[in-house]
Amino acid sequence: MSSTAKIDDTLREKIISQPDVILDDQDVMRALISANEKTMGGNIVDLRGIAMERLEARLDRLEDTHRSVIAAAYDNLAGTNQVHRAILRMLDPADFEPFLRDLGGEVADILRVDAVRLVLETVQAENDPAVSKLGDVLSVAEPGFIDAYLTGGRNVPLRQVTLRQIQTGGDTIYGEAADWIRSEACLKLDFGEGRLPGMLVMGAEDPHQFTPQQGTDLLAFFAGVFERAMRRWLS
């Protein structure tokens, strides 16, 4: 003679009227499957239970992937909006000096970087009044400096956008801020035929803000707009 524990009538009616409540609860379903396995004994393999466990593991992986894809999409959208706002602000000034000053001000704030510097190669770098006036955002260097800075003297291909982590920033570019720059985005600029190249550098105190693993499409677009704006000022 055996005794069977009876389920509460109210709970029983609830389960019968809404079975989905049980089916949708993973913890309850696991408990039921575990209880069923115990009643079958240790010499019986429940293939349905094994299949369910594998399906649950696969579903968990799919949900993790789904969340990662959504998070990446939101990040990309936020980054796109950020760059678009920076470009619109950059194109607002009607004069060259405010245009450059905004790079280190509101444009840098929108992009959430700690320093923005424009490097221009020139054969007449000394005693230029514009350089002393805009020294906090504008740096000049001799021809060939930009390629050497980007490659570090190594025989590597040049890219329009270089993202990297650094131990310290270059004094020629960052000045007094060089000691606390830990990552940077270097955008090589083409100002047209017959003109020396330039470089727009964004520096960050956070060593993880710019890394080689990140995408460069948005910054390449920003560089393209900046090149066209500079050609207007240089013409």
Other C-beta atoms closer than 10 Å to the C-beta of 25 total 12
Q: Are 165 and 211 in contact (CB under 8 A)?
A: yes
Q: What percent of the chain has pLDDT over 70?
A: 79
| Residue 162 pLDDT greater than 90, yes or no | yes
Packed helices 47-90 and 26-40: angle between N→C axes, nearest 10 degrees: 160
Burial of 5 (0-12, 13-18, 19+ CB in 10 A): exposed
Residues 102-114 have a mean pLDDT of 90
Span 3-16, pLDDT tens digits: 555 677 777 777 77
| Residue 104 confidence (pLDDT) | 86
Lowest mean pLDDT among 117-126, 203-212, 221-230: 117-126
Does some domain include residue 172?
A: yes
Q: Quick one: DSSP state of residue 208?
A: T
Does some domain include residue 106?
A: yes
Span 183-199, pLDDT tens digits: 999 999 998 888 889 99
Mean of the per-residue pLDDT values of the chain: 80
CATH number where 175 lies:
3.30.450.40
The model's pTM: 0.67
Domains held by the chain: number:
1
Does some domain include residue 32?
A: no
Residue 110 to residue 83: CA distance in whole angstroms = 8
206: its two tokens: 């956070």
Longest dimension (CA), the chain: 107
Does some domain include residue 206?
A: yes
Cα Rg, the chain, nearest whole Å: 31
Residue with tokens 């424009």: 118
Can you give the residue range of the structural domain that contains 158?
95-234
Residues 91-98 have a mean pLDDT of 86
Does some domain include residue 70?
A: no
Beta bridge partners of 164: 184
Does some domain include residue 101?
A: yes
Q: Are 134 and 101 in contact (CB under 8 A)?
A: yes
CB within 8 Å of 159: residues ≥ 6 apart: 150, 188, 216
pLDDT band, very low/low/confident/very high, at 1 (cuts 50, 70, 90): very low
Does some domain include residue 76?
A: no
Other C-beta atoms closer than 10 Å to the C-beta of 92 total 11
Does some domain include residue 157?
A: yes
Other C-beta atoms closer than 10 Å to the C-beta of 94 total 7
Stronger pLDDT, 69 or 149, i.e. the higher one: 149
